[in-house]
Chains A and B, each alone.
Chain A
């Protein structure tokens, strides 16, 4: 069989800081690969057509919907999933704690995606206006919380990281 027509392909990438290699089906999405090969089940399957953001992961620091990203494209990339935010002794990161403190989680299905987008936003080190922040978070759907608490959790963490006082 020619190289082009192989059904499995070796994909090597860095996932949450570790280099990993797997043989993946060329038809798999990155969501499929992360869940099935690596058991990273924080990567949720919501709509699987790039609408809801539940499957969001960071690829080279940018948030992508992993459901509309082919697993074979991940070769050589640096991927972070929610599991990668855990501290050495299982501590939560500041943004995860903020989601809990603000009751920004109900069923939790949208949460990993939201937190990864929030990580990209917060890691930029910029101070965003409310409107900018809403736009930055707009690629995620939440059917439970009504967004206000999520928005506040991200905004408060942004202020905290920048050493600014948060006003309601």
Chain B
């Protein structure tokens, strides 16, 4: 039995918004892998919940007319991983969410929950940053769109206002078309593990596969919230695909990140990880995009 004061079950998105207005203190529960565990641990004990688990309208992945890929916020990690559209266009996101927890956690965990709990180590977050994802947020005034880079306000804090909930994650055609990416996760175990550092890199190469037309690097756990390595991206865009460029990426990213000391890993170790993982993920992304680069 969970220590829950009351549960309000939303019957539609509008009803969820209404419940959010009526019960501003209540916590939204999408799946159980975050909120229920916090209740069990006592951190959220005695809370009121708004359950949106039953809203099937918020599940599933589809391509919109303009090519945008729309992932309903309640879509589970296992369904994202298995989805043909994701496998075809953003396979790295499928790979990344396949590293969350274990299989049963991936069955209950949702992409919306993973973004809305505002945790820097969320496996989906760095890849969503790396693909300039846009979040569809529904509230009393209707729908607004929020770039993921503006959504995270601080550790565990996201830009969800009164009455609002995240209803979908959108990835625009120009953000995925022609890009190939790789997500690497460093942890002490291969399963049931929170990332010590996560790094997602994607590249777009020139026709002859020799020039980096674009490059995007994003991190989880390299700062209080997930972040992009903008300094590096700007400096390296347009460079040749070569081991030298890779080495520059490895050096430059150190200016972009700001990891902290914690019991999980020391700061200098995390810095080393940020650099090494960016270089390795870059190598793999280049190869996936059809480019050649030596180890």
Contacts and interface: CB of A to CB of B under 8 A. Distances in A.
A161 interface: no
Contacts of B8: 4
A83 interface: no
Given A65-B104, A69-B32, A138-B190, A5 B6 contact: yes
Contact of B108 (A4, A65, A72): A65
A155 B156 CA distance: 41
Contact of B107 (A4, A64, A70): A64
Contacts of B3: 27
Contacts of A51: 192
Contacts of B191: 135, 138-139
A139 B101 contact: yes
Contacts of A5: 6
Interface residues of A, number: 31
Given A70-B51, A72-B51, A139 B103 contact: yes
Interface string A1-28: 0001100000000000000000001111
A8 to B, nearest CB: 12
Contacts, number: 88
Contact of A50 (B4, B32, B51): B32
Contacts of B78: 62
Using C-beta atoms within 8 Å of the partner chain, give the interface range for chain B: 20 to 34
Given A63-B107, A69-B32, A70-B36, A32 B1 contact: yes
- Majority secondary structure, A binding face: mixed
Interface string A24-37: 01111100100000
A75 B102 CA distance: 25
A29 B107 CA distance: 16
Contact of A68 (B1, B4, B37): B37
A26 B4 CA distance: 9
Interface of B: 1-4, 6-9, 29, 31-33, 36-37, 40-41, 51, 53-54, 78, 101-105, 107-108, 190-192
Given A28-B1, A50-B105, A70-B32, 19 more contacts: A27-B1, A27-B4, A29-B1, A29-B36, A48-B40, A50-B32, A50-B104, A56-B104, A62-B78, A62-B107, A68-B32, A70-B29, A72-B7, A72-B9, A138-B192, A139-B101, A139-B103, A139-B104, A139-B191
Q: Which 5 A-B residue pairings sit nearest by Cβ, starting from the closest?
A: A139-B102, A138-B191, A68-B32, A65-B104, A139-B104
Interface of A: 4-5, 25-29, 32, 48-51, 53, 56, 59, 62-65, 68-70, 72-73, 75, 117, 135-136, 138-140
